[in-house]
Each structure stands twice: as structure tokens, then as C-alpha cells.
Amino acid sequence: MNPNEVEIREMEVEDIPAVYHLGDRLFRGPRLSTLYRTWDAYEVTTGFNQDPELCLVAETPAGEILGFALGTTYEKEKGAWKYGYVVWLGVDPAYQGLQLGSKLYQEMERRMQGQGVRMVLMDTAASNQGAIEFFKQMGFGKPRNQVWMSKVLRDQGPKKGRRTSPFRRKRANLEIQPPPQR
Ligand SMILES: CC(C)(COP(=O)(O)OP(=O)(O)OC[C@H]1O[C@@H](n2cnc3c(N)ncnc32)[C@H](O)[C@@H]1OP(=O)(O)O)[C@@H](O)C(=O)NCCC(=O)NCCS
């Protein structure tokens, strides 16, 4: 496969299954998954519906999808700047290191700039050193540490054995009924 023959183009509806399955291989593993962001089919379909211009694929002449990039933009209330956000970027592990990620990112950036974006953001697990190095090469800097915490909520439902039976409820209703009028 000649990487120069790989085309970077906008994702089409027929690409959705291939993108989903490639993302599943890349992002479902314990190394890259985070609790606050999960790869699933909605990540692809929502991106495709909301920001089709920022959903890109890398395709061989034979029609094989080797990589993809899904991005979005947003503005802050009362803020003057428009921000771009690289939500997901992935290249098939067998074809990493061939500049496909760079090409996908550069096309994404070109399109974001065309939409008036002033700053592009990305986030990933601190352990994803490969991606951090990659984004540094793409010109990203000023990494900020952010703490995120979690709390498991205990089941708040009715306690076992203390559920009020229909019979008891009926009896309780009887108990609070006003005395019959004479
Ligand atoms: C991050 C990723 C998209 C990079 O794609 P890629 O096609 O392999 O990257 P490129 O070949 O364009 O790399 C460009 C430069 O980035 C740097 N780089 C890329 N991957 C790197 C790695 N694993 N370790 C260190 N540097 C890396 C290198 O400097 C490289 O230039 P070089 O090949 O001339 O040395 C790819 O590794 C990937 O899919 N990773 C898993 C998913 C992921 O973590 N996505 C990012 C978060 S959403």
C-alpha cells in the first residue's frame, strides 16, 4: 500500500460501519477508554449528523478505510473565539506511522479554520503518550492537567423486605379514612 495514494475525504453514510468497527478496535481497549467518553455507534452517527464537514476518512484506492477523524466546533457564551475540538482521531494500527494521522488532522484543521475556528483542542488519557507526541508534532502545546473524580452511587431503591404490599397499603388507607358521617 502506497500511503501517497490514500485519499482524505469527507465521510459518507456508507463509511459509518467501517469507521465504527475501526474505532471499536482502537478505543474500546482498557488503555484508551475513559469513563467520561465512550466509543459507541452514536459517536459516529451524531458527528455525521451535526458536523459532516468535520467527519473525515482516509481511504485506499481499493476502498479500505484506514483511518478517520471526527471533530466539532463550539463557541462560549459572550466569548469572541470559536473553538475546534478533535473528538476522535484514529488510524488502523497496521498503518500507523505513515503520516495518515497527520493528513487527517491537517485536513480537519484546514476545514476548522475555514469555519472561523481560532483555537483547536484535544484531550486524551495522560497515559496515551503516542497521541500526545503526535499532537505536539501537529503544533499543540500547553498541556493542562485536569482532575476528574467519580463516585459510585449505592442503590437508592426500596430495601428488600420493606416494600409495602398492596394488602398493607390497602389496610393503611383504611386506617386513615375519616370516620363515617352520621
Ligand atoms: C495518534 C494517531 C492517530 C497517529 O496517527 P499516525 O498516522 O500513526 O501518525 P503519523 O504517522 O502522522 O505521525 C506524525 C508524527 O507524530 C509523532 N507520532 C505519531 N505517533 C507516535 C507515537 N506512537 N509515539 C511517538 N510519536 C508519535 C511522530 O513524530 C510522527 O512523525 P514521524 O513518523 O516522522 O516520526 C495513531 O497513533 C492512533 O490512531 N492512535 C490510537 C488512537 C488515539 O490515541 N487517538 C488520539 C486520541 S483521540
Locate the domains of the chain by residue range: 3-151
Q: How far apart are CA 49 and CA 157, in angstroms?
A: 37
Q: How far apart are CA 119 and CA 33, in angstroms?
A: 25
User: Is the CB–ligand 1 distance for residue 101 below 6 Å?
Assistant: yes
User: Is the CB–ligand 1 distance for residue 88 below 6 Å?
Assistant: yes
User: Is the CB–ligand 1 distance for residue 124 below 6 Å?
Assistant: yes
Region of 139 (left: φ > 0; alpha: ψ -120 to 50; beta: rest) is left
Give the CATH architecture of domain 3-151.
3-Layer(aba) Sandwich (3.40)
Residue with cell 449528523: 49
Is residue 101 within 8 A of residue 134, CB to CB? The reply is yes
Quick one: pLDDT at residue 32? 60
Strands 82-91 and 119-122: parallel
CA of 34 to the centre of ligand 1 (A): 19
pLDDT in tens, 124-174: 988 899 999 999 999 999 998 888 888 999 887 766 655 555 545 544 454
**Mean pLDDT for the stretch of residues 92-109:** 98
Is residue 64 within 8 A of residue 17, CB to CB? The reply is no
Q: Which residue has the higher pLDDT, 176 or 113?
A: 113
List CB contacts of 36: < 8 A, sequence separation 6 or more: 148
Q: How far apart are CA 92 and CA 90, in angstroms?
A: 7
User: Is the CB–ligand 1 distance for residue 106 below 6 Å?
Assistant: no
CA of 123 to the centre of ligand 1 (A): 14
pLDDT in tens, 27-85: 986 656 566 678 999 999 999 999 999 999 999 999 999 999 999 999 999 889 999 99
User: Is the CB–ligand 1 distance for residue 98 below 6 Å?
Assistant: yes
- 182 pLDDT higher than 70: no
For ligand 1, what atom is nearest to the CA of residue 87? 48
- 24 pLDDT higher than 70: yes
Contacts 24+ apart (CB under 8 A), 33-40: 34/125, 35/150, 36/148, 39/88
User: Is the CB–ligand 1 distance for residue 99 below 6 Å?
Assistant: yes
Residue closest to 118 by CA, chosen among 90, 92, 79, 156: 79
CA of 161 to the centre of ligand 1 (A): 56
Residue with cell 467519580: 150
Quick one: pLDDT at residue 171? 47
